[in-house]
Structure 1
Amino acid sequence: MSGQEYLYFAKHACCELFFQNQITEWPAVNQNQVTQCVHSFLLAAFALFFLQNLSSADQRPSEIEAEKPKASISYRDLILSHKPAAFWDFQQRDHDGFRSLVQKQPVPALIRGSLDDAAAGPRPAEFPLFTANNQAAAFEPGQGFLRVVDPGEKSDLDFAAGDAITLEAWINPKSTKSGQYYYIIGKGRTNRKGVARDNQNYSLRLTGSEISFLFCTQPEKKGEKPTYHRWTSSGGGISTHSWHHVAVTYLFGKKNSLKAYIDGHAVSGKWDAGGDTARAPVVDNDEVWIGSSMGGAASSSFNGQLDEVAVYRSALTADQVASHFQHVLPGPQIDWTMIPANRVQVDILEGIPNQKSWSFRPPRLAASFTQP
């Protein structure tokens, strides 16, 4: 067996060892649990360090390719080649908002309230499809959001039974909480005067570490209210203070047609309200809002940065969605001169997803100390 093959199996073995012994309920831990957890982690880290050096000259081609930037086309051109109905990259801000890059039916995203100053969006070398000066829109709950006026009847932003849709965005949340639903993009449910309240044509939202798709179906009988149908992912692993690519595809009027993706990978989930349905969605000329809903309520507003928001009148394939997420995982940054001799430095890190894998973004350092 090659050194790289040893490393491949050791990663999984050490990962299993560490996660089986990890602390899951911090308030209830004792000294033995802490010691066991640290020992498990040090054993896993030592094994990986040793085998990584052993295998450095014998890497698998697939892993070598995964470490190299593959960008031969810009993210903007890649998205436009997949023919979105609307696409806002937030790169250039006008005095009143951001223009859509789709020329067929340009629909600007207008600022309501105020937005924070532009923030850095996904950038190389971690995200090689983007430019070094890529910008994102920054949102603060209760301060402002973006509104897109519907061009009119049967516009490219209106979706009825038989229409396929893809909603897509890059998100970098500052905060998120399970049970709360923060709007990335949605049409309807704006609570504007003169517009029906239960008129959600479609929406993509963040809840905890998951994404959620919500829409309303038309009443079957007179006097009844529209029915909300909500799908929520499970095991999404979205963390705060890091960029994630999210997308959902759906064919209105067809059961079992919803597909969702986080960071280029398909994720599972379930219809946890209203159930799956073949009924037609509610559709009208209400606005599309980015970053909020329900009158701009802080409880429904996104907190953080959004970038590359797109709406398609087609269901992108899994390969197309995967091509939008190219990621080069940064290597560990260790300053050996800062580690005292004859001591072990223990770093406590935040933002590690709850999954048995070493493939995650660099976590945040919460605390650090040394032991004899």
Structure 2
Amino acid sequence: MRFWRVALVIMLLSAGIVSCGPVAPKYQDQVLADKPLAYWRLNEATGTVALDASGNGLSGTYEAGVALGQAGALAGDSAAGFANLAAVLLPAAAALDVRTSVSVEAWVKPSAAGENGGIFEKTVTGVVNSHYMLMLESGVAKFRVPTAAGALVPVDGPILAVGSWSHLVGTFDGTTLRLYLNGAQVAQAAAAGPLAGGSGQSYVGHLSQRLYPFAGTLDEVAVFAAALSADRVRAHYQAAEPTPSPH
């Protein structure tokens, strides 16, 4: 009986009926298991609403110029393209005003070398560089948080590859900033909490005051009110990591 089951699976794989590649729901399930405050999949084909898949109602608005339906980081799914200051405007939600711990996650595909680009920023109204942000500076991946003492503390990673998808996660646990690239920690820095904060809008695609407009494609942006562990970051990445096909 076992032989026939194995033979049937091999036959289905050969016929292309069963896929070995990653599928979007598998990755989505891993993200949702960690209870994100907000999760913008950026996979809409039309319209102006960037749906919050977390169920917490923090949907955003695509500005004119965001290109929907671009090839995504996950097999069979799509993403959003950014250029010329276009962004996703997100609500000024109290839920995103976290002070003790936070994680920001995204799939990032820059279109140019040496880019300065805002991936995600939670702002405080009237204050520049005011809250936590995931970004590129001269092509270098960075995660930054503002401490209550008034310091803007960064953790810097490597330069991201142009034209390829990279999985980025920045975390803060109250004492330490960490940056992960493609499932592995690449940098850390000390930062004393709590974070400075306050009410203000959030953005995907540039920083506040339209600084650092991102050029390229972004996908699967999520924010958590906790520092994801190394194991959970790796689980997210592996859920989307391509599996070699036998045919």
Q: What's the TM-score, normalizing by structure 2?
A: 0.81
Aligned counterparts, 1:52-201, within 5 A: 74-93=26-45, 95-103=47-55, 105-124=56-75, 132=76, 134-142=77-85, 144-151=86-93, 155-160=94-99, 163-177=100-114, 181-188=116-123, 195-198=125-128, 200-201=130-131
Q: Distance in 1 between matches of 2:197 and 2:52?
A: 22
Q: Distance in 1 between matches of 2:91 and 2:237?
A: 29
**What is the percent sequence identity of the aligned residues?**
23
| Residue of structure 2 equivalent to 1:212 | 142
1:109-156 Cα distance to aligned partner (Å, 9 max, x none)? 1123421242010244xxxxxxx2x010100032x10111123xxx32
Tell me the CA shift for residue 301 of structure 1: 1.0
Offset of residue 329 of structure 1: 7.2
Q: Deviations over 1:326-365 (max 9, x none)?
A: 333779xxxxxxxxxxxxxxxxxxxxxxxxxxxxxxxxxx
Q: Does 1:319 align with 2:231?
A: yes
Q: Distance in 1 between matches of 2:137 and 2:223?
A: 20
Cα distance between partner residues in 2 of 1:287 and 1:218:
19
- SS of the equivalent of 2:95 reads coil
Higher RCO (CA < 8 A, seq sep 6+): 2
| 1:328 lines up with 2:247 in the alignment | no
Q: Distance in 1 between matches of 2:205 and 2:24?
A: 31
Which of 206, 214, 220 is residue 292 of structure 1 equivalent to?
A: 206
Aligned counterpart for 1:231 among listed residues 155, 160, 167: 155
Higher strand share: 2
User: What is the Cα deviation at residue 94 of structure 1?
Assistant: 5.7
CA distance in 1, matches of 2:191, 2:188: 15
Secondary structure of the residue aligned to 1:321 is: helix
Task: Supply the distance in 1 between the matched residues of 2:44 and 2:179 (Cα, whole angstroms).
Answer: 29
Aligned mate of 1:305, from 206, 213, 217: 217
Please say which structure displays the higher CA radius of gyration: 1
Question: Runs of 5+ in structure 1 lacking a partner?
Answer: 1-67, 125-131, 190-194, 220-225, 271-275, 332-372
Q: Within 1, Cα distance between the matches of 2:141 and 2:133?
A: 10
Which blocks of at least 5 consecutive residues in structure 2 are unaligned?
Answer: 1-19
- What is the aligned-residue RMSD (CA, Å)? 2.5
Does structure 2 conserve the Cα–Cα contact (< 8 Å) formed by 1:159 and 1:201? Answer: no
CA shift in 2, pair 1:323/1:286, >3 Å: same
Take 2:63 and 2:24, find their aligned partners in 1: how far apart are those partners?
37
SS in 2 for 1:241: coil
**How many residue pairs get matched?**
224
SS of match in other structure, 1:248: strand
Deviations 1:47-66 (A, max 9, x none): xxxxxxxxxxxxxxxxxxxx
Structure 1 runs (4+) greater than 4 angstroms displaced? 68-73
> Match for 1:259 among 178, 181, 188?
178
Contact map agreement 1:199 1:284 (CA 8 A) in 2: no
| TM-score, with length taken from structure 1 | 0.55
2:163 to 235, 238, 241: 241
Distance in 1 of aligned mates of 2:235 and 2:43: 21
Deviation at 1:93, TM superposition (A): 5.0
Cα distance change, pair 112–319 in 1 and its aligned pair in 2 (3 A): same
Q: Distance in 2 between the 1:111 and 1:328 partners?
A: 29
Residue 237 of structure 1: how far off its partner (Å): 5.2
Q: Secondary structure at the match of 2:217?
A: strand
CA contact (8 A) 1:167 1:311 kept: yes
What's the offset of the Cα at 1:97? 2.3
Contact 2:40–2:52 (8 Å) recurs in 1: yes
Tell me: CA distance 1:95–1:321, structure 2 relative to 1, closer, same or farther (3 Å): same
